[in-house]
Amino acid sequence: MQGDEWQFDVLKTTGPGHAKDLVLQVAASTDLLVALGGDGTLNECVNGLMSYAAANPDIQVPALALWPMGSGNDFARNFKWNKSQEEFITRLRAQKYLLADVGCIQYANGEKEFFLNECSMGISSEVVRRVNALPALWNGNLKFGWAIFRTFLSYRKKHVTLSNETINWSGKSLMIVCANGKYLGSGIGLAPDALLNDGLLELTIVGNVSILDYLKHLPQLKRCEKVRHPEISYQRIKSLNIESSTEIEKDGESGKKAPARIFIAENQLRLLG
């Protein structure tokens, strides 16, 4: 890549999981991977790059860029990126990179999955499942608004146990979030202090909070402000053990069920800023 001269190959995904496979196919022959899509596409690319890095520890993995064209585009909100071609070309020409942390979910069977923006469990996992089942032509706000409304009608809070060196928490929870970025659920700022390159995750515990109480504070969350509530807490962590039978979603993609250990892998990916 020299000056304004770039050579790109365009690869099209055909279904869930395909982006990860494509990344593994081309990682050895490219300098920069561009995810043209949303948080789910980005997540598959991250998992592909992390798998490639594990298999090739002595080789530098390609850098990663996002052109946000998805439904929620929550990761892009950390940088105020938009969908315009001009904005993306400007970033491409500037060639400024951030060494970003990557979150890891390790399940009881030893299997690992990675996330760049956030992982969560509780009502958010059910919302993600519903969102991913809606028509692709619906816009992000409509998808998430409808999914949240439908989920609120039937959701029952699950019992969760959280622990690490300083945390020992157990109880019914509306939602547990471990975040590297600030937003999830199409612009809900549940992790106001999260930073992508500080070696920490922001843990937000939304405990035995009623759905009406959650909706009452939604305008604050949309402004990415901390909520003062006896059942909501914010902490900075490097790792967390989760005991539950609830599914963990990652970057808007459905994942597997806990128990699991979540931790931060520092400075793992070069990200086009």
pLDDT in tens, 225-257: 999 999 999 999 999 999 998 899 999 888 899
Quick: pLDDT tens for 80-131. 999 999 999 999 999 999 999 999 999 999 999 999 999 999 988 888 788 7
Residue 5 has pLDDT above 70, yes or no: no
| Mean model confidence pLDDT for the chain | 91
Q: CA torsion angle for 23, 75, 241, 51 (degrees, to 10)?
A: 10
Residue 48 has pLDDT above 70, yes or no: yes
Region 124-140: mean pLDDT is 77
Banded model confidence at residue 147, pLDDT cuts 50, 70, 90: confident
Residue 4 has pLDDT above 70, yes or no: no
Q: Do the bridges between strand 118-122 and strand 158-163 make them parallel or antiparallel, or are there none, so unpaired?
A: unpaired
CB 93 within 8 A of CB 269: no
Instruction: Tally Cβ neighbours within 10 Å of residue 270.
Output: 19
Give the burial class of 67: count Cβ atoms within 10 A of its Cβ; 0-12 exposed, 13-18 middle, 19 or more buried.
buried
Q: Which residues does residue 33 pair with via DSSP β-bridges, in sequence order?
A: 64
* Residues constituting the chain: 273
Q: How far apart are CA 184 and CA 168, in angstroms?
A: 25
- Of 51, 66, 77, 93, the C-alpha closest to 265 is 51
The answer to whether the predicted template modeling score (pTM) of the entire model surpasses 0.85 is: yes
